[in-house]
């Protein structure tokens, strides 16, 4: 059976989505191409019709997931006419913590692994983090452009760090304390 262009595009998007979920859940090295293709409901051989290497898939899946993070903040900023920055941060942290790693923040799930990747992976993600920082800066209290940018950098770093620590903890009460402390200080 011949695969139409529309089906091929949908298959590729499905591979990227499943890879993004599996990478966030198990890490880049914790999941192989065969597992990703199985999760996407496709044959292992179909991978090479879409990607030259696993690294190419890592780039696309991570970038796609990070774009989802940026879109979340853009949407929250749009809704934010009713919310103070602290409330937006608290909402993000509580929603992101409640989500499984596979669905949550890319940097909280894979940040330490991304740091060990080559430039092919790190450069596009760096650009997306910069974009996210700009979105967050627009949500910060009035001040100079530099002040708002520094506040957004500190807020994002604090949120990612809070998620990493809260998810690593085996104590749910302590995890919630971490989330609340960061939300209260941003």
**Helix or strand or coil: residue 106?**
helix
Range of the domain at 107: 54-185
**Helix or strand or coil: residue 2?**
coil
**Helix or strand or coil: residue 153?**
helix
- The continuous run of DSSP H or E covering 61 comes out as helix 54-79
The pLDDT value given to residue 138: 87
The pLDDT value given to residue 76: 80
CA–CA separation, 57 vs 21, rounded Å?
12
Which CATH number goes with the domain that contains 167?
Answer: 1.10.357.10
Is the residue at 147 inside a domain?
yes
Q: Which residues contact 124 (CB under 8 A, 6 or more apart)?
A: 59, 62, 63
Output the six-digit token pair for 53. Answer: 């290497």
Is the residue at 78 inside a domain?
yes
DSSP label at residue 4: P
The pLDDT value given to residue 82: 61
Output the six-digit token pair for 108. Answer: 């909280």
What count of other Cβ atoms lies within 10 Å of the Cβ of residue 57?
22
Domain count along the chain: 1
* CA-based radius of gyration for the chain: 18
DSSP label at residue 29: T
Torsional sign, CA 156, 160, 165, 167: positive
> Which residues of the chain, if any, have pLDDT below 70?
1-2, 80-83, 97, 99-100
CA–CA separation, 144 vs 3, rounded Å?
54
The pLDDT value given to residue 1: 58
Is the residue at 159 inside a domain?
yes
Residues 90-120 pLDDT 10s: 777 877 767 667 778 899 999 999 999 999 9
Is the residue at 131 inside a domain?
yes
Is the residue at 33 inside a domain?
no
């Amino acid at each position: 059976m011949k695969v139409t262009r529309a089906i091929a595009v949908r298959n590729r998007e499905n591979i990227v989505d499943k890879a993004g979920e599996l990478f966030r859940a198990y890490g880049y090295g914790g999941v192989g191409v065969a597992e990703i293709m199985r999760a996407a409901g496709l044959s292992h051989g179909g991978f090479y019709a879409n990607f030259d290497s696993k690294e190419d898939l890592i780039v696309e899946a991570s970038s796609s997931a990070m774009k989802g993070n940026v879109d979340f903040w853009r949407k929250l900023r749009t809704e934010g006419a009713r919310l103070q920055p602290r409330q937006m941060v608290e909402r993000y942290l509580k929603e992101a913590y409640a989500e499984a790693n596979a669905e949550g923040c890319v940097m909280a799930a894979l940040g330490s692994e991304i740091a060990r990747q080559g430039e092919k992976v790190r450069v596009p993600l760096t650009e997306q983090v910069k974009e996210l920082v700009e979105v967050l800066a627009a949500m910060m209290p009035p001040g100079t452009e530099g002040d708002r940018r520094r506040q957004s950098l500190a807020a994002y770093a604090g949120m990612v760090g809070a998620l990493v620590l809260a998810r690593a903890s085996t104590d749910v009460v302590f995890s919630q304390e971490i989330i609340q402390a960061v939300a209260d200080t941003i």
